[in-house]
Amino acid sequence: MTSYATSTARAEMSEIRRLKNILPPELQSWVTVEKTIEVNPTLIRSEEIGKDQVEIQIDLIRWEQLAMDQRNLLFWHEVARIQNDTIARDGWEMAALAIGL
């Protein structure tokens, strides 16, 4: 008999795997999809974790409550933000970009 925690963990990993597989091929090498570990997280957000690395963080508890079409729409919106280079950056990065560094 499988425990609730085990089945929940499997469902979460399955959803993360599904999202990784639907990433466009040109993003798969430098965009990762992970479960957020924040205390009071937003539903979905992107974060630049390195010069050539972006992480999409998802609150899987709230994510699982949405219909599949809603999940896909939100995920593709975040992918479009990455492709258009409109990810929010830290304040010092914005200042450096503004002065042309």
pLDDT of 98 reads 59
Could you tell me the pLDDT band of residue 95, with boundaries at 50, 70 and 90?
low
CA distance to 3, 41, 71, 99, per residue, from 38 (Å): 25, 5, 20, 32
Task: Tokens 């479960």: give the residue.
Answer: 35
Could you tell me the pLDDT band of residue 93, with boundaries at 50, 70 and 90?
low
Instruction: Give tens-digit pLDDT for 19-36.
Output: 999 999 999 999 999 999
For the residues 87-97, what does the mean pLDDT come to? 56
- Whole-model pTM: value is 0.75
Could you tell me the pLDDT band of residue 2, with boundaries at 50, 70 and 90?
low
